[in-house]
């Protein structure tokens, strides 16, 4: 809004205080909403256009019907404030769990991008599939996933090698190492 008066008029007329769709996650002051592109067409088109401002490679703006959008918000007494989102195809033959991801610049470097990637893998596990991001990865996507996997591997190694609570190597820890090797092929 150009002026505070315009913003106040907007607040009086607009009664929306959260994204459309279902709130599927809430913890402390963070929520995730699942928004169907075919049910909330204009909203999803608008967040795609917003993403285009920050992502040079973004090509999807209007054909949002085949996608689900997972919108991350920070919550306070004023409502639910948009932080970022990721989208994925409703039915992906290639088993992609993420098509596009964007965090607003003012929220970058705070762990929200990692949270969104982690959330996409959580949804994949709940659906009983491995899941992978759509390829080719953009330069920013490549960096985000490399950082995600490096931190996931380090966290797992820290838990496994903790001298206070020694643990044996398990199938899960082997999968993490194999995932890291697999990841190197694409990065």
Q: What are the residue ranges spanned by the domains of the chain?
A: 13-134
pLDDT of residue 46: 94
Residue 180 has pLDDT above 80, yes or no: no
- What confidence category does residue 105 fall into, taking pLDDT thresholds of 50, 70 and 90? very high
pLDDT of residue 21: 93
Residue 93 has pLDDT above 70, yes or no: yes
pLDDT of residue 171: 46
The angle that helices 139-160 and 112-126 make with each other, rounded to 10 degrees, is 80
User: What's the rounded Cα separation, in Å, for the pair 71 and 89?
Assistant: 15
Q: Count of CB atoms within 10 A of residue 5's CB?
A: 9
| DSSP character at residue 178 | H
pLDDT of residue 187: 45
pLDDT in tens, 123-175: 999 988 888 898 888 888 888 899 899 888 888 888 777 667 655 555 454 44
Architecture of domain 13-134: 3-Layer(aba) Sandwich (3.40)
Q: Please give the C-alpha separations between residue 129 and each of 42, 63, 67, in angstroms, as whole numbers.
A: 30, 25, 18
Residue 179 has pLDDT above 60, yes or no: no
Which one is catalytic: 4, 134, 155, 159? 134
Task: Specify whether 134 is catalytic.
Answer: yes
Residue 74 has pLDDT above 70, yes or no: yes
pLDDT in tens, 3-54: 999 888 887 887 777 899 999 999 999 999 999 999 999 999 999 999 999 9
Q: Which of 112, 60, 54 is nearest to 83 (CA)?
A: 112
First to last CA, the chain: 41
pLDDT: which is higher, 155 or 187: 155
């Amino acid at each position: 809004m150009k002026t505070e008066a315009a913003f106040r008029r907007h607040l009086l007329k607009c009664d929306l205080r959260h994204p459309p769709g279902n709130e599927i996650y809430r913890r402390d002051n963070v929520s995730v909403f699942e928004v169907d592109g075919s049910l909330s067409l204009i909203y999803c088109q608008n967040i795609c256009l917003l993403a285009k401002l920050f992502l040079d490679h973004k090509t999807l703006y209007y054909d949002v019907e085949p996608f689900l959008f997972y919108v991350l918000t920070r919550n306070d007494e004023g409502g639910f404030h948009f932080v970022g989102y990721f989208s994925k195809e409703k039915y992906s033959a290639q088993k992609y769990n993420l098509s596009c991801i964007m965090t607003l610049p003012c929220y970058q470097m705070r762990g929200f991008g990692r949270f969104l990637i982690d959330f996409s893998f959580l949804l994949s596990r709940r659906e009983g599939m491995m899941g992978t991001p759509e390829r080719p990865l953009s330069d920013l996507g490549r960096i985000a996933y490399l950082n995600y996997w490096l931190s996931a591997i380090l966290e797992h190694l820290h838990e496994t090698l903790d001298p206070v609570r020694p643990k044996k190597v398990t199938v899960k820890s082997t999968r993490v190492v194999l995932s890291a090797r697999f990841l190197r092929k694409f990065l």
